[in-house]
Copies of this chain bind each other. A is one copy, B any other.
Amino acid sequence: MNSKEKKEIKVPMKEQFGNYMVPVRDALEVFSGKWKIPIITALSFYESCGFKELERIVEDITPKMLSKELKFLEDNLLITRKVEDTRPVTISYSITEYGRTCKSVMSELYRWGVEHRKKVFNIEGKTWDKCLGH
């Protein structure tokens, strides 16, 4: 129990790093999950999409998840929802300028992920094809 007996005293993370995990968790909330990155990517590419359009672009997503994630992304100022004055009324979802800052994070995840596949599964080019659809 005496500190003399311990060769090295290792303090808890918070003492060492403060609350560095708080912003990391904020970021993870935006980028983790099955659908947020695909939606952000779709809107980064297409500028503006309707709800049903997104349902088709982001394959296999259910309307419930799409609706939920769009609200989340809007709350986080990454996209906008605009009601267009057309008949019938259409909605256009677009990425914001701020939303485009996600690209650097997504690129880093992609880059690391590619290296990770090489390292862990020893996949370079050939076997890689297996992962494309099938």
Question: A: which residues have CB within 8 A of B?
Answer: 10-14, 16-28, 30-32, 37-38, 41-42, 45-46, 49, 53, 56-59, 76-77, 98, 101-102, 104-106, 108-110, 112-117, 119-120, 131-133
Contact = CB atoms under 8 A, between A and B. Distances in A.
A11 B57 contact: yes
Tally of this chain's copies: 2
Contacts of A102: 112
Contacts of A22: 113, 117, 131
B76 A24 contact: no
B133 A115 contact: no
Contacts of A76: 116, 120
Nearest to A39: B13
